[in-house]
Amino acid sequence: MLAVKTNKPAQFSEEALAKAKEIIARYPEGKHKSALIPILHIAQQENDNWLSVETLDYVAQLLNLKTIEVYEVATFYSMFNLNPVGRFLLEVCHTGPCAIRGGEWLKNYLCEKLNIKPGETTTDKMFTVKGVECLGACGYAPMMQVGKYYYEHLDTPEKVDALLEQLRSRVDFKHENWVV
């Protein structure tokens, strides 16, 4: 997948910048590249949950790495979103053990309900549905991840509807960011 250019300069809040410095300091001297993945997580939180070309370049500069070193990592890992996503990214597990207990149903139901295809975002930019590989919650299927937490045992339309409603009303969702 290719990263997207926005022509908007990326930046970190002061708090995030301090956190990034703290993370770099964790690793042995000269091994600051190890901090790349954690800092990309921060970059994503700072920039509406996705990584634009500008954000990647900014991280490269911050860590004193070549931009290609950042691009190759950002494109390898599935948690880095290289395209804009909705306010709530609904990551539904569709791997084997979930699939036999309703994982496929959950993904289809969400898409139907929100009137989008997997990978797409609703027009109000509220929800994106994404099928993801095993999240390690096989016994509690069907399930999905939204933000920091897992939502498990979503086996009836009522439970899913209630969760969507609950999410819609969460204006403070950004504060549920995890501390990298």
Partner 1 sequence: MGKKILTENINIPGINTIEVYKQHGGYASVEKALKQMTPNEVVEEVKKSGLRGRGGAGFPTGMKWSFIDKKSGRPRYLICNADESEPGTFKDRYLMEKIPHLLIEGMIVSSYALESNLSFVYIRGEYKWIYEMLWKAVNEAKANGYLGHNILGTGYHLDIIIHCGAGAYICGEETALIESLEGKRGNPRIKPPFPAVNGLYNNPTVVNNVESLSAVPWIINNGGEAYTKYGVGRSTGTKLISACGNIRKPGVYEIDLSLPVKEFLFSEEYCGGIANNKQFKAIVAGGSSVPILPAELFLKTADGKDRIMSYESLNEGGFVSGTMLGSGGFIVYDEDACIVRNTWNFSHFYRHESCGQCSPCREGTAWMEKVLYKIEHGTAQAKDIDLLWSIQRNIDGNTICPLGDAAAWPVASAIRHFREEFEWHIEYPELAQRQNYGLLKSTREKLYNTETTTV
65: Cα within 13 Å, side-chain hemisphere: 25
Long-range Cβ pairs for the range 53-61 (8 Å, 24+) = 53/3, 53/4, 53/5, 53/6, 54/5, 54/6, 54/7, 54/8, 54/9, 54/10, 55/10, 56/3, 57/10, 58/9, 58/10, 58/11, 58/12
Instruction: Give ∠ CA 137-127-165 in degrees, rounded to 5.
Output: 80
Task: Answer for the pair 23, 38: CB distance below 8 angstroms, yes or no.
Answer: yes
Provide, rounded to whole angstroms, the least separation between the CB of residue 81 and partner 1: 11
- Mapping DSSP to helix (H, G, I), strand (E, B) and coil, where does residue 6 land? coil
Task: Answer yes or no whether residue 130 interacts with partner 1 by CB under 8 A.
Answer: no
Candidate list 16, 154, 160, 180; residue touching partner 1; CB under 8 A? 180
Q: Determine if 115 is a binding residue for partner 1 (CB under 8 A).
A: no
2 counts as binding partner 1 under rule CB under 8 A: no
Q: Does 137 bind partner 1 (CB under 8 A)?
A: yes
Is residue 22 near partner 1 by the rule CB under 8 A?
no
Residue 167 interacts with partner 1 (CB under 8 A): yes or no: no
Q: Which of 8/21 has CB closer to partner 1?
A: 21
Compose the 59-98 pattern: x for residues touching partner 1 by CB under 8 A, - for all others: ----------x--xx--xxxxx-------------xxxx-
| Residue from the set 7, 14, 28, 165 that interacts with partner 1 by CB under 8 A | 28
Residues that bind partner 1 (CB under 8 A): 26-28, 31, 33-38, 40-41, 69, 72-73, 76-80, 94-97, 99-101, 132-141, 145, 148-149, 178-180
